[in-house]
Amino acid sequence: MKVTVDQDACIASGQCVLTTPEVFDQRDEDGIVVLVTPDPPESLSSQVREAAVLCPARAIQVVD
């Protein structure tokens, strides 16, 4: 699994961080998503996919 984020599209809602803090974080200054783990382990697959679905800006892309 490969994860990418579009920081320009991010609206800093934080749903990704709440769902999968092992993979996503937010910048302190503006809350924009930061990708901590671009190649997360398979054990986090369902949480990462949920984060992508929950993102209101659709700023998270997941590719198998």
* Residue range 48-62, pLDDT digits in tens: 999 999 999 999 999
pLDDT of the residue at 10: 98
The percent of residues above 70 in pLDDT, for the chain, comes to 100
Domains by residue range for the chain, with CATH:
2-63 (3.30.70.20)
The predicted model scores a pTM of 0.94
pLDDT in tens, 9-31: 999 999 999 999 999 999 999 99
pLDDT of the residue at 47: 98
**CB-based burial, 13-28: b 16+ in 10 Å, e otherwise:** bebbbebbeebbbbee
